[in-house]
Chains A and B, each alone.
Chain A
Amino acid sequence: MTGKVPADAPARRAEVLARIAAALVDRPASSAVPRDYQHRLPDHVDVLDLFAERVADYRSTVHRTDAAGLAATVAAAIADRGIRRLVVPGGIPEGWLAACPAERIGDDPPLSVEELDGIDGTITGCAVAIAETGTFVLDAGSGQGRRVLSLLPDRLICVVTADQVVGTVPEALARLEPARPQTWVSGPSATSDIELERIEGVHGPRILDVVLVDRPG
C-alpha cells in the first residue's frame, strides 16, 4: 500500500498551497535571523566535568574511568545492576567487554521485540554527547545498532569517550548527520505527569549508567 494516495490528493495539495499564498498576500517583510546566542562554552569550562555533573543531575550514575580501566568499570556496572543477559550491538569494541560477567546477545539476525523485552540490559556507544545538557545522542551507528535495542531492556549502559563530548547543543548538531535516525537521551525515562513530581522510569530504561572515558594522562 506504500505510496497509494486518494484520488483527490492533488486537489487538496493545490488548495492548501493556494490558501497559504492568499494568506501571505501582504508579503511580510524579511529580516535576518539573529544568531548571537551562545555557540560554545567559555574556554575555562572543562566539558568532561560539566557533562558528568549534568548527567548526574538527572539521577543517572556516572562512572569516570580511562582506557585502561574501561573493561573493569563496565564489568562492575553490569554486575552491580544484576544484568545476566546483555544485548551487545555490532561494532562494540571487544576491549569494552573483556571482563563482561553477563551472557552476550548479538542482534544479528535481528532480535524480535519479545526476545528483547525479556533481556536485562543493553550496552551502547554513542555518536556525540553534550556537556551543557547532560545528553548523549544515539544515531544507530557502529556500536549502537537499531533504536529498539536501547529501548526495551530496562537497564542501559552507555560508554562515552572524551573526544565525543562537546559543550553545547549547536556544536552537537553540527556533528550529526540528519539522515540517520537519532535518539537524544538525557537521563533515564521520566515523567512529571502526576502532580508535576518527577519520577524516574516509565517506559524506557529505568536504570541508566554512563561510563565516561577520560583522555589519557
Chain B
Amino acid sequence: MTVPAEPVPPIHATTRRPLPTFRGTPPFPEAARTALADPQLRANLRRATTTIRDKRSRVVAEREDWEQLRLAGAAIKDEVLRDLPALLERLERAVVAAGGVVHWARDAADANAIVIEVARAHGTTEVVKVKSMTTQEIELNEALAIEGIDVWETDLAEMIVQLGHDLPSHILVPAIHRNRTEIRDIFRDEMGKVGRPAPADLTDDPKQLAEAARRHLREKFLRARVAVSGGNFAVAETGTIAVVESEGNGRMCLTLPDVLITVLGIEKLVPTWRDLEVFLQLLPRSATAERMNPYTSMWTGVTPGDGPQEFHLVLLDNGRTDVLSDQVGRQALRCIRCSACLNVCPVYERTGGRAYGSPYPGPIGAILTPQLRGIAHHPVDKQTASLPFASSLCGACFDACPVRIDIPEVLVHLRAQVVEHAARSHRIPTPEAGSMAAAGWVLQTARRLGRAERLASLGGRVVGRRGAIGRLPAPGWAGAWLRRRDLRTPARESFRAWWRRTGGRDDAR
C-alpha cells in the first residue's frame, strides 16, 4: 500500500479551485523547519495549546476517579479489538433491524465509491458534512469533487480551512493555526463565492465571525438532501451511533437531510449501551475540556417521521487491520480522537499539525499514520518513516491519553520497524537497527529495563572514573558514535533499584 502517484488534483465544482492535499508533504524534519520559521503560526499555536491544557487540567482534577475511568476506557476498547468480528456482525444486525443499510469498505476507494453511489442515486450535486477525521483520511471530498459533487464542511473550523483552501492542523480545532484576523479575511473574501456573502462590515470579533458562519450555512442546511458524517461511537448491542459536537452543525446534518451516510472506522465500536457511560465522561473532558460538550446526537437506524429516512453505515478498514495485526501497535486503535495528546506535546506545540503530513497530527498521528500505511508489513515512504521520530519521547501524551495508549512505547517500536526495513534493504544491519531493536526489547518489560540499568551501572563503575565516558577506543559503529559524544556515566544505582530498596524515603539514600 504505497502512496499512489499524484494525479491531476480534484477541482471544487463551484469555485473551480484545486483542493489542497497532504500528499507531497516533505519528511517531518523538513516540514517542521518550514513551520518553525513562521512566528505567527507558533504564536497562534502556543496561545491555543496553553489555554486548552489549563482548562483540561481543571476539569480532569474535578474527577477523583479519573484514573479508574481511563482504566475502564482502555479495557473496553481492548475488548472491542479482541472481539471485533463478532461485534461488527452484531452491530450490522442491529442497524439493519432498525432500517439502516450497512456497507463494508476494504479501503478508501471502496468507501468513496459507496458514498458516491448513494449520492448519485439521489441525483444530488452537493452534500453537507459533519466534521469527521475518517472522511479526511479517505479524502472523500476530493473523490466527490471528481464526480462533480460539492461537499460543504459545516464545522466552523473545517469551514475556515475549506474556504481558505487550506489543510487542517489539529484533530479537534482544524483551524488552530489561524487567528481571528486571518479568519475575518477568509470569510470576507471567500464566502460570497460559494453562497451567502459575509457582511461588508465584518470585524474580527469572534461573535461576529460565528454569526456570519451561521447565516452562510443556514441556507445550505435547509436545502441539503444528503449528509455525510463520521461517528464517535457505535454501540454493537443496539446499533446506536453517537456523534459528539458543540456547534449544532452536526445536529443540522444528522436531522434535516433525507439521506444520511455515516463513515465509521471499524475500531469505533463499544460493545454495550452501558459502555457509553465511560466514554461520554472521558471524551468531553479530554477534548474541549468541558464536563460535557453542548450536543451529543444518538440515533439507531431510521426513526419514522423524525430525521433522515434513509441511513447508510459504511464500515471502513483502510489499514486498520494492519494496525490490529501488530501486538504492540494495536493499542493505537483505542484512540477516541480527543486530541489531548496534541495539546500537551512540546513538538506539536512548535511545529503545528501540517508538518505531520496527514489528517492525524501530533503524537497519535506519529503512531497511527505509519501503521495505517502498513509499516508493520512493508517499507514505507520517507515522509511516513520520519513520523515515529517526530517526538522527544517525553511521555506527556501517555499521561494525557484518556484510553491509556502508551504512545512512547509504540513510537520506539515503530522506530525499530523503520530501521529494520532500512537494514533489510541495505542487507547489512545499520547501527540504529541494532540499538533500536535492543532498546525496544529492553523497554518492553520493567524487569528487563531494571536488569539493563543494573548492568549499565556496573559497567559505569568500571569505566566511569571521571564522571563521563568519552573518546573510548570502542570498536566499529560504537566508536564512531562516541567520537561525537561524551556519555554520562550511569548512576551507581538506578532509580528503580533505589526505589525498590528505599520505597522512596529520601533519608534512606
Contacts and interface: CB of A to CB of B under 8 A. Distances in A.
Q: Do A and B interact?
A: yes
Interface in B26-68: 44, 47-48, 51-52, 63-65, 68
Given A6-B114, A185-B295, A190-B294, A110 B305 contact: yes
A201 interface: yes
A204 interface: yes
B456 to A, nearest CB: 32
A12 interface: yes
B88 A203 contact: no
Interface residues of B, number: 103
Contact of B295 (A19, A26, A184, A195): A184
A181 B300 contact: yes
- Interface class of chain B by DSSP: helix
A28 B240 CA distance: 27
B315 to A, nearest CB: 7
Interface of B: 44, 47-48, 51-52, 63-65, 68-69, 71-72, 75-76, 78-79, 81-82, 84-85, 88-89, 98, 101, 103-106, 110, 113-114, 117-118, 121-122, 154-157, 160, 173, 175-176, 179-180, 183, 206-207, 209-211, 213-214, 217-218, 221-222, 235, 237-238, 240, 246-249, 251-252, 255-256, 266, 273-278, 280-281, 288, 290-300, 303, 305-307, 310, 315, 317, 321-322, 324-325, 327, 330
B246 A190 contact: yes
Interface of A: 1-6, 9, 12-13, 15-17, 19-26, 28, 30-38, 54, 57-58, 110, 113-114, 117, 130, 132-135, 140, 146-148, 151, 169-170, 173-174, 178-197, 199, 201-205
Given A194-B156, A197-B206, A148 B106 contact: no
Contacts of A184: 280, 292, 295-298
10 contacts: A16-B104, A20-B85, A33-B72, A35-B72, A186-B292, A186-B295, A189-B246, A196-B52, A203-B248, A204-B248
A66 B290 CA distance: 30
Given A31-B75, A110-B305, 17 more contacts: A1-B118, A6-B114, A16-B106, A16-B321, A17-B89, A20-B266, A37-B281, A134-B292, A170-B277, A181-B306, A182-B298, A183-B295, A183-B297, A184-B298, A185-B294, A190-B246, A192-B173
Contacts of A133: 291-292
Instruction: Please classify the interface of chain A as helix (H, G, I), strand (E, B), loop, or mixed, using the class held by over half of its residues.
Output: loop
B207 A132 contact: no
Given A203-B221, A203-B249, A196 B51 contact: yes
B183 A194 contact: yes
Contact of B300 (A38, A178, A183, A196): A178
B255 A191 contact: no
A195 B255 contact: no
Contacts of A178: 235, 237-238, 240, 273, 298, 300
Contact of B110 (A12, A24, A194, A205): A12
